[in-house]
Structure 1
Amino acid sequence: MSFVVDQVCRIDGQLDRLHLCRPSSAPLSPVVSVTSRVCRDHDDSRLSGEDLDATRAIQLQLAIKALSTTASSRALLQPEKIQTVLARAGLAEHPSRDENEYETGRASSREQELEWLLVSKAVAQTYGLVLNLLLEKIIPLSRDVWYWDEVLGSYFKTGLYSLQISPWRLREWSNEIYDDAWRRLQSTIQRSEDQPIEIVPLSSHWRQFYGLVKDSVHERSLADMQTKAVSLFARCRAEARDKRSHLRRFREISACGLGVLMNEGLSFDVADDGSMTSRGRSEEERDEWKLVISKSVALMETVIRNVTVLEHGTSEFEEAVFTSVENDSDLRHQFSGEQELSSSSAMIAARLQHLLRVHIPTQAVESRQIVTRNGRPSRIIRYWLPVVAILFSSSTLLRVFLHRRAKIMTWIRELGATSIDFWYNWVVEPVKKVIGTIRHDEGSEIAIMSRESLQVDRASLERMVVDFARDNPDSGTGTLPNDIDLSRIRAKVREGDLTPVLRAYEKDLRKPFIGVVRGDLVRALLIQIQKTKVDVEVALGGIDALLKSQELVFGFVGLTPGILVCLGVSHWLTGFMRGRRGGKAEQKQGQTVRILRNLDRILTGSTPSNNGGMLSYKEHGMILCEVHVLRQKAQRILPGEIYIEFLEEINDLVDIRTGVERQIRVVDRIRWAYGKWLI
């Protein structure tokens, strides 16, 4: 939804309140009391006058319901739908009664009120269509203006633009030469017809035409000598500057028209009792809203007719619009007593149909022509250079592909095989190991050595030390050890104490040759080597236990590189497929930042009026365009509840009656309150 839909719904509600909350002296609708009788006697061709009035009332009420904003899921109807409803209502086919009949006839008064309500509903729908039409023309103009800014921003872009349009310039120049030569040939033939008849061969006409072409080219070249003094870049930049100026003026005038319609069109306040809040409650002042409806139709017609006139600025546009509405002949006669209210409603309906059928399509065509003449060139003009380059190089590319077909196919196969191996070796297998670790799978446990290795080596060391102590009693107590002593030695060996072996080793070191001959020194040395082996296995067992305690961490560490590579490739592919038009949140936020910047720039650079410090019509229209885009972007970013609060800020922002200072504070509040999502 946009602010146009909100505006139309608000006006539609005010019109319903004006109709429903009538003074008590006004008659009620006859539909409830006579509907059953009309439906019962529908096949009877002879209906009474009251039944005919009831049938007419039902017809009008059905038409009113079809034009209401609650009639369908779409609040704004198509122009064809509005014209169809007005045509079926047949306001011009039911002429008004005499004035005495309006004073005494209740049915005619009710019919008159229903006709006015029908016309007002149609005016509200047309009002929304006109606002949407202006919005759709203003918003895309920014892209065209940015294009010309880029062309004027660098000499490279200017040169590229001049190269892009060179074939079309050559075609225009050739057409001018051909038209000039053909016109001269026709005049020559016409002069020859006045002379005596003489048979002239066709070849002489061709030679004459060729000579005229040469003369036209020569004369045009001499005439363009002055323009040749100016460089091609300067002429292209001047052309781009003129087109940008026309687009900016068209955007400003359209924004001014949008602001005029938003401020002056259908601007009436309705109280709870259905009366105009700024008016009294006399019979004439209760019909003041009908004059507002009529003026709004004239205002829309005038804006539509003048919005494509680019010869004047915004001030002249405003003056022309308001002067045309004030001097409107239909408005002068409508409520001056010269016309009755029923005929006025029929006249407004006819004028509204003419607006929908003629003025709106004409304005759409004229706007499209302005954009075509002054907007950025078409895609054919912008991209014919790379297309031609690709076409000319296609044979070379095809030849290269055919000559290197085997290598290219090999690269493709190797790339596919590498991708598959990477997937299975660095993603699938690490995932399986992590899952096995989580499920305590013994096959997936990390182990530096086997579980029984340390126990076997330690038992061997105990037996070696015990046998050494039994064979060398002098290293211990000097007597043969008994079973208790051997158990004590075995316990000390488990704790790492090799005292019997070390004493014998120290003793043999005094006479090493004798110890070597006897073998005790070598035996003690080998026992110490076994002790070193056991110590190393104990250290490795601690490291093994540490690795097992962090086995899940190491599993995820092994899985991380594959996951990161896969995420990076998928992110790149997603961005490549989406392109510049991707719906990334970062791009949306960047767009909202630029919109907030434009809003702040318009408000801070505005020139408020002396009456309340309000914005001008042009500045108000520019604010409405930016707000329209901001609402569409915010609806995709903000959560539901936050978006509802955001709409309250938007309504405060577009309300120019509060003044520029308060609008600037609203922009600041939007920036800090919703910066989490918008910035």
Structure 2
Amino acid sequence: MSFVLDQIRRIDAQLDRVQLASIPAASPNISRTNTSTLEATGLTKPSTRLLALQTSIRGLTPYASDKYALLRPAQISFFLSALSDHPEAPLAIAEDDRPRKEPFETELEWLLVSKAVAQTYGFALQSILDNTVAIADDLFYWDEVLGSRSFSALYGIQISPFQFWHWTTLVWEDVKARGGNFGVTNARQDAADTLGKRWGEFYALVRQVVRERSVEEINKQVLSPVTRLRGEIRRKKAQLKKVRLRNANALGVLLGEGLANESAHGEALASADMAQTQLQWKSSIARNVALLEAVLAKANDVDIPVEKFDAAVAELTNDDPMYGVDMSTDVEGGSSMTVQPQDVAERLTRVLKLALPQYDASLRQAVREHGKPSRLVRYWLPVTAGILSSSTILRILVNRKAEIMQWIQDFGVTVIDFWRNWIVEPTKKVIGTIRHDESSEVSIMSKRSLEGDRDSLERMVVDFAIDNPASATGTKAPLTPDEITSIRAAVREGDLTPVLKAYEQDLASPLMGTVRGNLIRALLIQIQKTKVDVEVAMGGIDALLKSQELVFGFVGLTPGILVTYFTIHYFRSSFMEKRGSKAARKQGVMVRQLRNIDRTLWGSEATEYGELPYKDQGLLLCDMHVLRGAAWRSMPAEVYREFSEDADELGDVRVGVERQKAVAERLRWAYGRYLS
């Protein structure tokens, strides 16, 4: 939201309050006799003119939407035409044979003019503000060009065709001025002379002009082309700074002397005497029309130095009868009016149709001459290179169409397979693990493998002990059921004592043990025992894997997620502006604007009243406008409302420089988290 809209809404609200306050004071004057007279004359209903005035007043009231709050000059002129006496005006109402005006008709006319002046005042403020801010961007462009000799050389290449065209035009104009115009007007002379002779004369004249111009510019050849170009850029930058300062000064004058200052600090709308208040705000409206015209006339006058802008505006307004108009009450309570609302409306129409367009035209001309070059100048080189190389690029694309299509297909298949194999499938496995899906369990051995091998080992050892009771009990007596049960329990705990004893005995005589003993059988049982031990170890590892099954699932999913995330992040950062990066840029803008505000407050010399000069006040308001725009995009709504209150206080010139410095410091520490 712009501070201009805040000012216009405040002015409009005060105008409405003044108008409403005047109704009770005037309503008792309407007697019953007057009412009966109105009924007798058939004027019980409002006239067409009164309705037209009311419609225009409502049309000039700022809308709630910021986009439509300020009207365009054509719209203001349209509603203002309700006061016109010319029949061709859009809303003009022909005067009827009424003996007198209706009650409050004159007041409605003044209210209509006041709202039109407020809208014009707001439009002028907004135009000057936007133009001053835009010029700052052009100055930043010239700073970048001057910051590097490479950029300066690139700028020289960009403008070289246009400079050559300008030089050629000057040469041609000089040739024509010296009698080298061989057009159709000299057709008879051309027919008499030979073509070669005429061409020789023309060529000699061109060479003479070029030679003379080369001699005139010989002093410039001492410096390098880049140095001369940088000097020209500095000249443009200096002229552009003057334009910006004049517009900032104009903005400060309008805010310091216009309706915004009177509505906020003046007594024109706050007097206890209602009759005096009515006359004072009418005088204020008339003065502001004259002030608007004077400021717009001098805003882009290059003959006026920046430091004498205020004096030039004051000289115009002092000689303007409308600026010095005085409306006051006489001794008997009547009013003395030296200007009528139709006069103010006519003057305002001149401002809308002449002053504002002339201001815009002169500013555009100054920016076109001294501002950054147009897009055609800046981008003709890459566009030309693209056009010249387009045929080669197209030929390469056509010749390798099959390969390119194959690359695209392979890339698509790769992306699809990556998504399916590294994103979808691992995700399904993780979900299955969470749901304890048997098909998704991680395992390195079958579930019943260990139990089968252990039972087999148990049977082998028991059968061996039954066949060789001496190795188990030390006697050759058959084993009892209790002894067999004891051996089974020992085998479950890994004890193979019967087998190992027989193995030790046969190992003393390996050959005999192999042929006649149980060496091979004992060895095979130990191999089975080794297999069981390995499976027990594998079972432990398998249990560990199952306990960390979800972790392994996420580990398998992580590479695909990381690749996908970084790919999406790359494309978003390359082709889209994220909100976070926007906020960071806005914060950078806010810091720079606060720095400019601080420089303006501490670098300016206060007036005798302790206030900023109008020029510095205009620069301060431009920086505040940009600062508020950046804050609106980066701050929450409730914080921005508080920020707007502090910003309005900072932009109020009447509070004094010292208080403005304190407010700037408050902005820095109170909203520091949104600036860093």
Range into which the TM-score falls when normalised by the shorter chain: 0.7 to 0.9
Quote the offset at 1:86 in angstroms.
Answer: 0.8
1:295-374 aligned within 5 A: 295-333=287-325, 335=327, 341=337, 343-374=339-370
- Which of 49, 58, 68 is residue 65 of structure 1 equivalent to? 58
- Name the % identity: 45
Question: In structure 2, what is the Cα distance between the partners aligned to 1:676 and 1:82?
Answer: 43
Matched, 1:19 2:19: yes
**Structure 1 partner of 2:554:** 556
Question: In structure 2, what is the Cα distance between the partners aligned to 1:321 and 1:508?
Answer: 128
Deviations 1:41-80 (A, max 9, x none): 9xxxxx8385587554443222212211248772212222
**Structure 2 partner of 1:641:** 638
Look up the equivalent residue of 1:249 and give its one-letter code: K
Q: 1:256 to 1:452 in 2, by over 3 A?
A: same
**Structure 2 partner of 1:422:** 418
Q: 1:176 to 1:202 in 2, by over 3 A?
A: farther
Quote the offset at 1:184 in angstroms.
Answer: 1.0
8 A contact 1:445–1:551 mirrored in 2: yes
Question: In structure 1, what is the Cα distance between the partners aligned to 2:381 and 2:214?
Answer: 28
* Structure 2: segments with no counterpart, 5+ residues: 87-91
Question: In structure 2, what is the Cα distance between the partners aligned to 1:624 and 1:642?
Answer: 21
Q: 1:135 to 1:282 in 2, by over 3 A?
A: closer
Matched, 1:457 2:453: yes
Matched, 1:136 2:130: yes
* Structure 1: segments with no counterpart, 5+ residues: 42-46
Look up the equivalent residue of 2:569 and give its one-letter code: H
8 A contact 1:18–1:275 mirrored in 2: no
Q: Please tell me the root mean square deviation across aligned C-alpha atoms, in Å.
A: 3.7
Look up the equivalent residue of 2:408 and give its one-letter code: I
Q: 1:323 to 1:495 in 2, by over 3 A?
A: farther
Question: In structure 1, what is the Cα distance between the partners aligned to 2:433 and 2:190?
Answer: 110
SS in 1 for 2:473: coil
Matched, 1:394 2:381: no
TM-score for the superposition, normalised by structure 1: 0.86
**Structure 1 partner of 2:213:** 220
Question: In structure 2, what is the Cα distance between the partners aligned to 1:645 and 1:618?
Answer: 27
Moved more, 402-411 or 432-441: 402-411
1:644-663 aligned within 5 A: 644-663=641-660
Matched, 1:378 2:374: yes
8 A contact 1:592–1:630 mirrored in 2: no
Q: 1:165 to 1:271 in 2, by over 3 A?
A: closer
Quote the offset at 1:123 in angstroms.
Answer: 1.0
8 A contact 2:276–2:329 mirrored in 1: no
- Which of 162, 165, 170 is residue 164 of structure 2 equivalent to? 170
Quote the offset at 1:671 in angstroms.
Answer: 4.3
Look up the equivalent residue of 1:9 and give its one-letter code: R
Look up the equivalent residue of 1:85 and give its one-letter code: F
**Structure 2 partner of 1:288:** 280
Question: In structure 2, what is the Cα distance between the partners aligned to 1:94 and 1:332?
Answer: 31
Count of residues in correspondence between the two structures: 655
Quote the offset at 1:177 in angstroms.
Answer: 1.0
8 A contact 1:34–1:51 mirrored in 2: no
Matched, 1:624 2:618: no
SS in 2 for 1:185: coil
Quote the offset at 1:230 in angstroms.
Answer: 2.2
Question: In structure 1, what is the Cα distance between the partners aligned to 2:227 and 2:325?
Answer: 56
8 A contact 1:95–1:343 mirrored in 2: no
Q: 1:34 to 1:651 in 2, by over 3 A?
A: farther
**Structure 2 partner of 1:439:** 435
**Structure 1 partner of 2:532:** 534
Q: 1:567 to 1:129 in 2, by over 3 A?
A: same
8 A contact 1:448–1:544 mirrored in 2: yes
- Which of 566, 571, 574 is residue 573 of structure 1 equivalent to? 571
**Structure 2 partner of 1:523:** 521
Question: In structure 2, what is the Cα distance between the partners aligned to 1:307 and 1:290?
Answer: 26
Question: In structure 1, what is the Cα distance between the partners aligned to 2:356 and 2:63?
Answer: 25
8 A contact 2:587–2:674 mirrored in 1: no
Moved more, 595-604 or 396-405: 396-405
**Structure 2 partner of 1:44:** none
Q: 1:548 to 1:330 in 2, by over 3 A?
A: same
- Which of 467, 491, 499 is residue 471 of structure 1 equivalent to? 467
Quote the offset at 1:417 in angstroms.
Answer: 2.2
8 A contact 1:609–1:615 mirrored in 2: yes
Question: In structure 2, what is the Cα distance between the partners aligned to 1:511 and 1:433?
Answer: 58
Deviations 1:146-190 (A, max 9, x none): 22112111111111111111111111111111111111116999x
Question: In structure 1, what is the Cα distance between the partners aligned to 2:248 and 2:264?
Answer: 31
Look up the equivalent residue of 2:318 and give its one-letter code: E
8 A contact 1:59–1:89 mirrored in 2: no
TM-score for the superposition, normalised by structure 2: 0.87
Question: In structure 2, what is the Cα distance between the partners aligned to 1:501 and 1:106?
Answer: 138
Quote the offset at 1:614 in angstroms.
Answer: 3.3
Q: 1:188 to 1:567 in 2, by over 3 A?
A: closer
Quote the offset at 1:453 in angstroms.
Answer: 0.8
SS in 2 for 1:300: helix
8 A contact 1:637–1:678 mirrored in 2: no
Q: 1:653 to 1:356 in 2, by over 3 A?
A: same
Look up the equivalent residue of 1:217 and give its one-letter code: V
- Which of 544, 560, 581 is residue 546 of structure 1 equivalent to? 544
Q: 1:252 to 1:107 in 2, by over 3 A?
A: same
1:48-87 aligned within 5 A: 48=41, 55-70=48-63, 74-87=68-81
Q: 1:219 to 1:610 in 2, by over 3 A?
A: closer
- Which of 150, 154, 171 is residue 156 of structure 1 equivalent to? 150
SS in 1 for 2:26: coil
Question: In structure 1, what is the Cα distance between the partners aligned to 2:416 and 2:7?
Answer: 59
8 A contact 1:83–1:353 mirrored in 2: yes
SS in 2 for 1:27: helix
Question: In structure 2, what is the Cα distance between the partners aligned to 1:16 and 1:416?
Answer: 67
Question: In structure 2, what is the Cα distance between the partners aligned to 1:609 and 1:198?
Answer: 73
Look up the equivalent residue of 1:16 and give its one-letter code: D
Quote the offset at 1:278 in angstroms.
Answer: 6.8
